[in-house]
Structure 1
Amino acid sequence: MSNNPLQDKEKVKCSAKTRRGTFCQTSPVTGKKRCRMHGGAKGAGAPKGSKNAFKHGRYSREFIENRRAATSRRREWMAFFREMGSEIRKTY
């Protein structure tokens, strides 16, 4: 290890993995672990609290509760119709 800070900086490489599974050979941006191409650039990444990845909400708590309530109502109606069907058949 030398006293030259530029030489030590060159030994540090980007911590991102390439498609081949090896590490990127580029040196990282100052103060970061990644190079400019792998997210070390200023402003890289989604802003805090971004909802851009939200697609449909099919698995959100509210949607699941609504689906369960609708299923139970449908089962109640089906039981009611079955009962009414048997009542109608008895009268004929």
Structure 2
Amino acid sequence: MNRSYRCGARTRSGEPCQSPPVRGKRRCRMHGGAAGSGAPIGNKNALRHGRYSADAIARRRQMSELIRRARATLAEIEERTE
């Protein structure tokens, strides 16, 4: 048992963990060997939402220009009716 592989993760005291690893893993149950521990597969934080893509920016510019023209047209119509 003394020669068997150990977890080796650093504990709070700074010493390597002496617990045996979980079967099939390199770390013990406390340091990431347990099922479901660790980061999820794939980086979901890096998924892009597309708000700043070239298409989205162009679409927003078109909408802004359309709104600007509509307001100018409404202002022109109001001037004529007064």
- When normalised by structure 1's length, the TM-score is 0.45
In proportion to residue count, which structure has more helix?
A: 1
- When normalised by structure 2's length, the TM-score is 0.47
